[in-house]
Structure 1
């Protein structure tokens, strides 16, 4: 009996990652003394009138402060500092932000969280707990914040059967089958986590949408989700299938200019708003990868989007994805979105947002910013990023993505500012990486990408290092030495993945069907732009895709100043060299190495980087709870194996093409090229 009790106690205290960055682990040292002794517990005086949102804010403060002080429940004393929630209207979206500052109220010490609406007070409550969780003294916390972007959105690629496209953390957290009668409490915990980082919108289903999700039975399910998430400041969006009037309404066409089609969508929107008054709107993928759309009827993307926008009216927004590519287009695939959408600038309705991927290809480990940013000044545009690591190891090892997104957000478009400035009036969407795994994201460190996305959507000026440090402090440890080690690991991790998968601007080299490993030799798939060979164009003379005026001329889609810098191999950032140029293997780089030598060096650096992360993590065993330390160690063991696979298979293939000896001090691949070519993984997750 004693042994069983001890086991149960150990399991109750186990760190399994479910709490995310909201662990509120007890403070230590001076920070704990400040909170415990100067203010043993902090009661909360809630501004009136109350609301479900304010009740949540109060509960979060009580739970968080008790945890940080090491207590199970609040303890009040005569000298306790008060936290006052001074809130305005109940209705509001938190757009005005919040302020946090110490004040004296009737001779008593207080900390006031002030906001114009209740959602703003909720955001402020989480911000106060975040600052305390980093070890900052309560008396020194002064914050004034407001979100830079109005729409801070997660896009779920979840299917109604529970599968998740390109998901690596288990099944969908949304159990559509049992809604609306049964709401999994995990969905409330999900809303809580999102509100803590300012996420205010969620598209609940895959952009490869099923028409039946517009049926009344699914509207009822969606309404239950909306009711649960509304107090957290979250509006629901639905991915809509463009051909739904035919599949559900029995119409002979989905032509956006057909009066019957317009009427069907207007009636459907009215039906949704009758159940969900604050419904966000529709997310649409059209005429891409076989999805139906307005071009099926000779209409433009603008005509299709505007028809749906008219159905929603002022009540909601149509988010139209700019990710398009067609089999019959023989031009450079990276040019297609610009060619289709830029001529439509100014033709989209005011409640239409064009959602543009961070780069012109497809969420690669590194690619230049999308040329549409800055090229459509009369159109509302937003940034689409991918939190789930489709091309960055999936749920293997560590790849902290804030530096990737910062590269894009901070890029100067040459057309009116940086990407961050271009999208600031509208917003940012991230393809969600959550699933039914107990730790939510497949690996513990993938939680950091969810967190970082929310923080950057709130404030794109935040440095990647600051975000990493605050996440790690709340998630793992506040101890300065291990915290510094974890932060350094995170900051280097994405560059490490680039080094061993696609250095120097190489991209789209992954295996067919799965994206876990390399297959640069694949050249025989049905569509040219499905083949890695299409993108690297390696031959005996060199490697890389010529996108200058002598090639596809994709550079012409960028602003002249940007194109001029990138068109010259001598002035382009070497990280993008092979994205825009086909270069000889013997080309001499600023490093003094030839291109072939530099590629080998980069591959080796990638492998060494993973080895270094594994060693650094091993050294942290005394500072991290055993369960999570072992889990991350296992993830890094997988990443070490995969890094060597990428390195060896890639070098073997490039050498088979260029016929050159391996550079000096470069170890030969562990296996012959044919052995790597024969590897097949039909069962790989996330396909």
Structure 2
């Protein structure tokens, strides 16, 4: 039964409602596939597998349409003129879009799944199967859908020794030792899962890059993976180590202005594209956290990115240049540094460069205000970088539904061109009109049987794909789809568990970092609380740098009276964040150092409110346990037990967070815990003594 976990959201469970099945069978009795490509075969086999499993009976795949009640799947080019006429315009579609339409032709009822290209047809098939999976009607269909972003990509922080940085689900999927000759079935299943949610790219290697991946020995292995992924519409990308010309090329320098260096990269690109004609390009982390980059040679990000862009441009390749930079030489405010470093370069990058920006200005915290760069570079394609793996959100032991976080960021208004200039509209090119658009998710996928280490962490992979396809999708719709596809369509299960999912992210914020607190996790591994850490070599690696608790209050003053980070936002946003009274309470301590006695909107003092938020988070996890315990009849025994045990860990750790943080901050506030907050049973010394030398993913 553990196989259920492995199947992700593609369970295709048999429908038990006889009436429902006969309704479906009154619309669909056969499959006609007009295409002959690898992608077409995958699409027709997937449709057959899904319908047979869900509706029973046999669904034969035919090559011509002569019967009633068939689903015809085909690219636009192979459709008959009569069907094309019934379908109407393909103008609304891009190369990856699809149309699903019910038509009646010569007395025969048919459902057409089509697109300009075969990959669009495959996406259409998955969309159609999702309708059946979630018990939706397939009568009178007229669906036109296309992705809003070009590059929808997973960033694997996988190392060549198969360890995964910030990976909490086992080892890397990529078994470099056995490649290229051994093609693990998991590679195919990985591609299939990604295609089912519209993900079209994968970066195989860690941003903290190893130049060896660019050697012929490894490129042969990368080629083998690219061949597996291609029919599923997935391009392979690699991380480029900036110093590769020195490390594997025998050059004395990696200066981007050096002709030999530029030529080395051009030749390397030629070598890669000869093997992999549809290679996507490079993701680069440069001059960040000790990684080499153009600044080592007195050059800037534009010099580095454009040099690489020139190398891949002849082949249609892309450079994704990460904006995650901060320097130990700038003690001012880490949150301001990426903006300060990149905004002056707006409009200076080549057309095939896209700057990849984390959702917030610090580092994938449970909650951060949107990154100010999204409102400040109208002439540069900006790519969103979300983290799917839960580095700062309890790893794969905590149930956290991240589409809520993603949606909160995407809906944020940058005011770049007045009201309504949301982050989503910036990254999908609606505002900037850039041709290159993208959204990246730092992957949580490993070789664990269930792929993600927690059955519910699969929802974050799924939700990322759905939001990359359409950044305006509501996270409630995503939760509903995922639960129905993965577990059950029973409303008695869906209603409470969906509510649990939608509340889970706020619960984590409450028991870890309420009111805009951030980066108070323990050192290095980021597992558990460590607000007391103050002894690290760089100031901005220490939690005390971020919460600044003292006898007067708590919080980081980023207003005009502090570091003035608020000035990096558009005036309309700056005005809201800068003023203590108008700043949303969820971001209060991100932007302001606030007195312990400050009155919150609910009348509580900040100290009492903080303590009550920590308590609320713990209670929310208790409630999650109660909800899950009542769902036993709807879920197989293995997954039920697995989630039950993980929620027990989450409950214990939520209490650990509450007790450790409140004991620590209480030293500064000097105040008693308010009524309703459970008293800690351990001392602060106890919590500070805990060590985790082998925490995963570090």
Q: Check if 1:559 corresponds to 2:570.
A: yes
Q: Check if 1:296 corresponds to 2:307.
A: no
Q: 1:423 aligns with which of 398, 423, 427?
A: 427
Q: Check if 1:43 corresponds to 2:67.
A: no
Once residues 75 and 609 of structure 2 are traced to their aligned partners in structure 1, the CA distance between those partners, rounded to angstroms, is 58
Aligned to 1:88: 76
Contact kept, 8 Å, 2:40 with 2:74, in 1: the verdict is: no
Q: Check if 1:504 corresponds to 2:505.
A: no
1:104 Cα deviation after fit:
1.7
Do the aligned partners of residues 514 and 322 (structure 1) sit closer, same or farther apart at CA in structure 2, a change above 3 Å counting?
same
Once residues 72 and 289 of structure 1 are traced to their aligned partners in structure 2, the CA distance between those partners, rounded to angstroms, is 57
Once residues 210 and 437 of structure 1 are traced to their aligned partners in structure 2, the CA distance between those partners, rounded to angstroms, is 24
1:333 Cα deviation after fit:
0.5
Once residues 184 and 219 of structure 1 are traced to their aligned partners in structure 2, the CA distance between those partners, rounded to angstroms, is 18
Q: Check if 1:273 corresponds to 2:273.
A: yes
Aligned to 2:393: 392
Once residues 588 and 146 of structure 1 are traced to their aligned partners in structure 2, the CA distance between those partners, rounded to angstroms, is 48
1:62 Cα deviation after fit:
0.1
3-state SS of the aligned residue for 1:430? strand
Contact kept, 8 Å, 2:204 with 2:236, in 1: the verdict is: yes
Q: Check if 1:587 corresponds to 2:602.
A: no
Contact kept, 8 Å, 2:31 with 2:61, in 1: the verdict is: no
Do the aligned partners of residues 14 and 514 (structure 1) sit closer, same or farther apart at CA in structure 2, a change above 3 Å counting?
closer
- After superposition, what is the alpha-carbon deviation per residue over 1:333-370, rounded to whole angstroms, capped at 9, x for unaligned? 01110011001111100000000000000000000000
- After superposition, what is the alpha-carbon deviation per residue over 1:63-113, rounded to whole angstroms, capped at 9, x for unaligned? 00001113476599x9862000131369x9963511111112332221101
Contact kept, 8 Å, 2:320 with 2:353, in 1: the verdict is: yes
Do the aligned partners of residues 573 and 236 (structure 1) sit closer, same or farther apart at CA in structure 2, a change above 3 Å counting?
same
Contact kept, 8 Å, 1:386 with 1:430, in 2: the verdict is: yes
Aligned to 1:363: 364
**5+ residue gaps, structure 2:** 79-89, 430-436
Aligned to 2:559: 548
3-state SS of the aligned residue for 2:463? helix
Q: 1:28 aligns with which of 12, 16, 20?
A: 16
Contact kept, 8 Å, 1:42 with 1:65, in 2: the verdict is: no
3-state SS of the aligned residue for 1:100? strand
1:181 Cα deviation after fit:
1.1
3-state SS of the aligned residue for 1:17? helix
1:144 Cα deviation after fit:
1.1
Once residues 637 and 500 of structure 2 are traced to their aligned partners in structure 1, the CA distance between those partners, rounded to angstroms, is 19
Once residues 442 and 681 of structure 2 are traced to their aligned partners in structure 1, the CA distance between those partners, rounded to angstroms, is 36
Q: Check if 1:403 corresponds to 2:392.
A: no
Q: 2:535 aligns with which of 514, 520, 524?
A: 524
Once residues 70 and 631 of structure 1 are traced to their aligned partners in structure 2, the CA distance between those partners, rounded to angstroms, is 30
1:475 Cα deviation after fit:
0.2
TM-score by length of 2: 0.94
**5+ residue gaps, structure 1:** 1-12
Do the aligned partners of residues 344 and 83 (structure 1) sit closer, same or farther apart at CA in structure 2, a change above 3 Å counting?
same
Once residues 253 and 474 of structure 2 are traced to their aligned partners in structure 1, the CA distance between those partners, rounded to angstroms, is 49
Contact kept, 8 Å, 2:99 with 2:145, in 1: the verdict is: yes
Aligned to 2:7: 19
Aligned to 2:432: none
Q: 1:484 aligns with which of 468, 482, 495?
A: 495
Contact kept, 8 Å, 2:396 with 2:453, in 1: the verdict is: yes
Once residues 665 and 367 of structure 1 are traced to their aligned partners in structure 2, the CA distance between those partners, rounded to angstroms, is 28
1:217 Cα deviation after fit:
1.2
Aligned to 1:3: none
Once residues 306 and 531 of structure 2 are traced to their aligned partners in structure 1, the CA distance between those partners, rounded to angstroms, is 41
Contact kept, 8 Å, 1:198 with 1:455, in 2: the verdict is: yes
1:397 Cα deviation after fit:
2.7
3-state SS of the aligned residue for 1:313? helix
Aligned length: 671
Do the aligned partners of residues 71 and 613 (structure 1) sit closer, same or farther apart at CA in structure 2, a change above 3 Å counting?
farther
Greater CA drift, 665-674 or 120-129 = 665-674
1:513 Cα deviation after fit:
2.2
Q: 1:70 aligns with which of 31, 38, 56?
A: 56
1:140 Cα deviation after fit:
4.5
Once residues 681 and 84 of structure 1 are traced to their aligned partners in structure 2, the CA distance between those partners, rounded to angstroms, is 56
Aligned to 1:597: 608
Aligned to 2:323: 322
- Superposition pairs for residues 453-492 of structure 1, below 5 Å? 453-492=464-503
Aligned to 2:172: 172
Aligned to 2:200: 200
Once residues 340 and 70 of structure 1 are traced to their aligned partners in structure 2, the CA distance between those partners, rounded to angstroms, is 59
Once residues 300 and 223 of structure 2 are traced to their aligned partners in structure 1, the CA distance between those partners, rounded to angstroms, is 32
Contact kept, 8 Å, 1:400 with 1:448, in 2: the verdict is: yes
Contact kept, 8 Å, 1:149 with 1:427, in 2: the verdict is: yes
Once residues 613 and 322 of structure 2 are traced to their aligned partners in structure 1, the CA distance between those partners, rounded to angstroms, is 34
3-state SS of the aligned residue for 1:254? coil
- After superposition, what is the alpha-carbon deviation per residue over 1:8-27, rounded to whole angstroms, capped at 9, x for unaligned? xxxxx555400100011112
- Superposition pairs for residues 667-686 of structure 1, below 5 Å? 667-686=678-697
Contact kept, 8 Å, 1:266 with 1:310, in 2: the verdict is: yes
TM-score by length of 1: 0.96
